[in-house]
Amino acid sequence: MAAPKDKWPLLKARYLERLKVQGYAPRTVDSVEIHLRSFFEYLDKETKTQDLAQLSREDLSAYQTWLCYAPSQSGEPLCVNSQQRRLWAVQGFFRFLVKEGLLIADPSAALERPKYRRPLPRGILNAKQVLALLNAPDVKTTLGLRDRAILELLYATGIRNAEALTLRLQDLSMESRQIMVTGKGNKERAVPLGRITQTWLIEYLQLARPKLAGKRSPDNVFLTRRGRGFARANLCQMVRKRAQEAGLPAHATPHALRHTCATHLLQAGADIRFIQELLGHASLSTTQVYTHVDISDLKKVHAAFHPRENG
């Protein structure tokens, strides 16, 4: 078995393609690519190895130690979470090589990744700030009406940036007041809509979207002024612009609205299991068992507890 140095780029590309097929998010795949590139640079500089099959457990232990002192972009040592993500990328790569028959044994198998510390959500808005953000767009304009519909949806449902961007017309069910979103791992889930969000979506679909689409026939629900689907940068830029107009701090981002939605529901007394299902989390912690909640129950709890969706 051998994995010579001149084959490393090809092996990395094959592994990244496998991650894509398995449904990992593009940002995750990009991060793995960066982490593996850094790992190869470490091997070239610190070990001079010419073949991955020559690496021992001691070599990988030395890499783990090196990570403890490696500088981050700010110049400070890598935090525990960054070390954990880099080791996860490397260990996944070696497991892939073993499964492909390119290595007999996995030299990284004995490594124990540092315990992941989930960061506390940042940028949570209070009720007054949310209202100011929602009211920022001029809904008498096409773009203003579009932005109001997006902001209402993000706050009311807590869906992820990517889930909002990939939302298609066929995913909307206005009569049953719910949408189907595709989350991480290409898993679909039904998400309830409140009456206020439903109203703004319908108004956008009837008055603004046809003007944005023009002669095009895009599937995306939300469109740019040129009639194309939103990119992640477009969405972040829009939310920041509206936040600035509302006089809110810079931390008002699409993801902040997701955290805000969950926090406000929890503060209002919603069951943690409902929030888990609404946000599309497989589990709330490594010790908590996932509990399924039916879509009919989701609608009832959402209508009862979400501050924006009562009615």
Contact 59, 47 (CB under 8 A): yes
8's tokens: 């490393």
Could you give the CA distance from residue 78 to residue 72 in angstroms, rounded to a whole number?
A: 5
Active site positions, annotated? 160, 184, 255, 258, 281, 290
Contact 66, 46 (CB under 8 A): yes
1 closest CA partner among 11, 9, 16: 11
Could you give the CA distance from residue 21 to residue 40 in angstroms, rounded to a whole number?
A: 24
Could you give the CA distance from residue 153 to residue 256 in angstroms, rounded to a whole number?
A: 13
Helix (H) or strand (E) holding 237, with range, is: helix 232-245
Residue 150 buriedness (CB in 10 A; 0-12 / 13-18 / 19+): buried
Could you give the CA distance from residue 280 to residue 287 in angstroms, rounded to a whole number?
A: 17
Could you give the CA distance from residue 282 to residue 277 in angstroms, rounded to a whole number?
A: 8
Q: Where are the beta strands (DSSP E) in the chain?
A: 172-173, 178-182, 188-192
DSSP state of 118: P
- Secondary structure of residue 162 in the 3-state scheme: helix
What are the C-alpha distances in Å from 102 to residues 11, 99, 261?
A: 10, 8, 47
How many beta carbons lie within 10 A of that of residue 282, not counting itself? 10
Could you give the CA distance from residue 84 to residue 142 in angstroms, rounded to a whole number?
A: 45
185's tokens: 């791992």
